[in-house]
Amino acid sequence: MDSKIISPAVIGRLPRYYRYLGDLKDEGVERISSQELSELMKVTASQIRQDFNNFGGFGQQGYGYNVEYLYNEIGKLLGLHENHHLIIIGAGNLGRALTNYSNFENRGFIFEGIFDQNPALIGKKIGELTVMPMEEIESFILAHSIDIVVIAIPKTGAVAVADRVVNCGIKAIWNFAHTDLNVPDGVVVENVHLSDSLMKLSYTLSTKNNSVD
């Protein structure tokens, strides 16, 4: 890759392309045109071509794209050709659910450790992992080449924990805490605010009900 800046909107669409191409590959489809992909994904063919042109176009020749090639190339862009090493802060229900989600491991996202501040949880087994105390976060990150930290604790402790892991050199945080983290430039936070997502649904329901009146 050269240093061309790709817009966040394009990057945000890459995982969805990757998901559809993976399904097509699994179904044995070898080639697909941008028009067919467009109908499948319900986006315009011109958007698909524009998105792909950010990355050199992926060589559409003759009849459409080679599905497996395109899948592999987008996978490489997404950093899926190498393993990532994660820890989870928070061994509550959400932390446990994420740890046990085998999909992530299949994609090369390997959960190496889980931490909690609750003494009753420390030492407990969650899948293959044993819950460790919060004091050990820094030494564990350094010893295990951790590159992604998952924050799955309530908002009260999230900001302080984010500061700690950023000080250890972590550049990527997957944040489930119900708060925004302020991190320095060069650190990326991907937020999953579940309540926000649910509220968007109830907004729509509420508006529908009102418009019936």
Site residues, its own copies (CB under 8 A): 1, 3, 11-12, 14-16, 18-19, 41-42, 76-80, 82, 84, 92-94, 96-98, 100-101, 103-104, 107, 109, 147-148, 171-174, 178-180, 186, 188, 190, 192-211
Q: How far apart are CA 121 and CA 172, in angstroms?
A: 26
Cα atoms in the Cβ-side hemisphere of radius 13 Å centred on 206: 6
CB of 134 to its own copies, least distance (A): 21
Decide whether 63 or 101 has the Cβ nearer to its own copies: 101
Decide whether 138 or 147 has the Cβ nearer to its own copies: 147
8 A C-beta contact, residue 155 and residue 178 = yes
CB of 17 to its own copies, least distance (A): 10
Residues 6+ apart with CB under 8 A from 43: 13
Decide whether 57 or 169 has the Cβ nearer to its own copies: 169
Q: How far apart are CA 135 and CA 120, in angstroms?
A: 15
8 A C-beta contact, residue 164 and residue 137 = yes
CB of 161 to its own copies, least distance (A): 17
